[in-house]
Amino acid sequence: MARFARNLIRRRKGPAPLPGARIVVGLGNPGQHYAHNRHNAGARATADLLNLLGLKLADKSKHAISGQGETAHGPVVVAQPRTYMNESGQAVQSLLTIFEAQPESLILIVDELDIEVGKIRIRPDGGDAGQRGMRSIKGVLGSLDFPRVRIGVGRPYVGDVPSRDPDVVAEHLLSDPPRDEAAILRAAERRAAEAVVVILRDGIEAAMNTYNG
């Protein structure tokens, strides 16, 4: 009986289901070492989104940290994975399980190489565009049929040619941008958070019309 009681208490720890919630996940790598990297643009944007929605990161599970609650635009969960980018699928699946949600409830905020720094683009679905976090999520869920807000971090150049060398690309993504570029990127992250609010409030088409121009 005592063992049953301990198990019951253990199951009650952590975030509780939030019926009908949209789950917004900003991809990145955990830890202060990566906090200002280009690859963490999505995770940084969730901080702006939490402020806009009046939520706080208060719930921690094995794979993600999240804030949840009723907002002016319905119930919302905002989360950052505690996994590394290449294992983002584990975090997303964990969130869907915890909040008893389906993949169509997801909205992702991600960085993208092939979008100019400072630009954002919104898509209702589609492929992973080579983004490793997205690739991991597709591998776990089987598809990417949900909206994503993409923040341009630009592709690195070797001379006058955009590089597709994996080592060059990895160094670019896992480094901090110079100050002027960082300011442009931060502004894009704030717009990405605003775009998510428009998706929640008015729908994906309205957000695309506003931010994809």
Q: Which three-class secondary structure state does DSSP give residue 159?
A: coil
Active site residue 33: no
Catalytic residue among 33, 39, 63, 73: 39
pLDDT at position 14? 59
Report CA-CA distances (Å) from 160 to 13, 29, 119, 165, 181. Answer: 53, 30, 21, 14, 19
Could you report the per-residue pLDDT of 89-118, keeping only the tens digit for each?
999 999 999 999 999 999 999 999 999 999
CB 211 within 8 A of CB 121: yes
Task: Count Cα atoms within 13 angstroms, Cβ side, for 88.
Answer: 26
**Are 1 and 55 a contacting pair, CB within 8 Å?**
no
Average pLDDT over residues 154-177: 93
Cβ neighbour number for residue 175 with a 10 Å cutoff: 14
Give whole-number Cα distances, 45 to 3, 40, 58, 113, in Å.
42, 9, 17, 17
Beta pairing class for 106-112 and 22-26? parallel
Tokens 């505690």 — which residue? Answer: 82
Q: Tell me: pLDDT of 127 over 60.
A: yes
Residue 166 has pLDDT above 50, yes or no: yes
Position 5, amino acid? A
Give the model confidence (pLDDT) of 9-67 as tens digits: 334 355 777 788 999 999 999 999 999 999 999 999 999 999 999 999 888 889 999 99
Say yes or no to pLDDT of 210 above 60: yes
Q: How many Å apart are CA 60 and CA 74, to the nearest integer?
A: 22
Task: Please state the domain extents for the chain.
Answer: 19-211
Query: Whole-model pTM?
Result: 0.89
| pLDDT at site 128 | 84
Written out in words, the top-level CATH class of the domain with range 19-211 is: alpha beta
- Give the pLDDT score at 13: 52
Nearest to 22 by CA among 83, 79, 65: 79
